[in-house]
Amino acid sequence: SQKIEQNSEALNIQEGKTATLTCNYTNYSPAYLQWYRQDPGRGPVFLLLIRENEKEKRKERLKVTFDTTLKQSLFHITASQPADSATYLCALDMSGRGSQGNLIFGKGTKLSVKP
Amino acid sequence: EAGVAQSPRYKIIEKRQSVAFWCNPISGHATLYWYQQILGQGPKLLIQFQNNGVVDDSQLPKDRFSAERLKGVDSTLKIQPAKLEDSAVYLCASSITGGAGTEAFFGQGTRLTVV
């Protein structure tokens, strides 16, 4: 079965620095990969989606890369702010891979940005 | 646009009791998901509906969990009888078409404590 690893349970960085979060998966590559943000007591909120044929996607201070050879996605937050502190979840979108659109989530990385 | 509504927000029950959760997805969304999120873990898919049909329930413990989506809109998830290990947040999500590069919108979740 598909396994997802987000390599850090927690990541602490200083305000203004770039946060880099990693998502690795096993077995076959998803058609899409999504990143979500989850704040305590709330449901996940969608941030970015990247397709298997895209190398990089940007949205404001966020950047996602997707390397199907390495089976890895990197999620970057540039010029990080304390308000970026949250748990970030990687999700594999298995559409067209023998399933009908399941989203399989990793455990998440808890990011803390210190002022 | 109204988001995904879930109720109740919190529920405490004794083991062996039964409990039901309710979800109202975003209007027009064909796909509805129920996820279980244990503290410190990522969301785990329990069941996925496309309109009122089940797409995937492979990880639903069918001896105690059941779910239905009447008329392809609202959904209920039931646990009977509950076990201590069912303590978790139950998240409902919906998407327009289901996977295929579409984002999922989550409700705030129902926090279940089984004592």
- For chain B, the structural domain boundaries read 5-97
Taking CA–CA distances from B101, the nearest residue in chain A reads: A32
pLDDT at A32: 87
Cβ–Cβ contacts within 10 Å for residue B82, how many?
Answer: 23
Q: Which of B33, B42, B93 has the CB atom closest to A108's CB atom? A: B42
Residue pair B107/B91 in contact (Cβ under 8 Å)? The answer is yes
Determine the residue of chain B that is closest to A39 in CA distance.
B108
CB spacing of B107 vs A51 below 8 angstroms: no
The pLDDT value given to residue B49? 93
Regarding beta strands A86-93 and A103-105, do their DSSP bridges make them parallel or antiparallel, or are they unpaired?
antiparallel
CB A19, CB A77: distance < 8 Å: yes
CB atoms within 10 A of CB A43: 23
Nearest to B52, CA basis, from B67, B37, B35 = B67
Query: Using one digit for the tens of pLDDT, what is the confidence trace for B9-25?
Result: 999 999 999 999 999 99
Residues of chain A with confidence (pLDDT) below 50: none
Task: Tell if the CB–CB gap between A101 and B91 is shorter than 8 Å.
Answer: no
B61 φ/ψ angles, rounded to the nearest 5 degrees: -70, 90
CATH number of the domain at A4-114, out of 3.40.50.12780, 2.60.40.10, 3.40.228.10, 3.40.50.300?
2.60.40.10
**Higher local confidence (pLDDT), A84 or B40:** A84
- Taking a C-beta distance cutoff of 8 angstroms, is the pair A52, A66 a contact? yes
Return the CATH fold of B5-97: Immunoglobulin-like (2.60.40)
Q: Amino acid identity of A4?
A: I
pLDDT tens digits, one per residue of B53-80: 998 898 999 999 999 998 889 999 999 9
With the C-alpha atoms ordered B98, A29, A87, B65, is the resulting torsion angle positive or negative? positive
Phi, psi of B71 (to 5 degrees): 55, 20
Return d(Cα A112, Cα B26) in angstroms, integer. Answer: 31
Cα angle at B77 between B46 and B38, to 5 degrees? 50
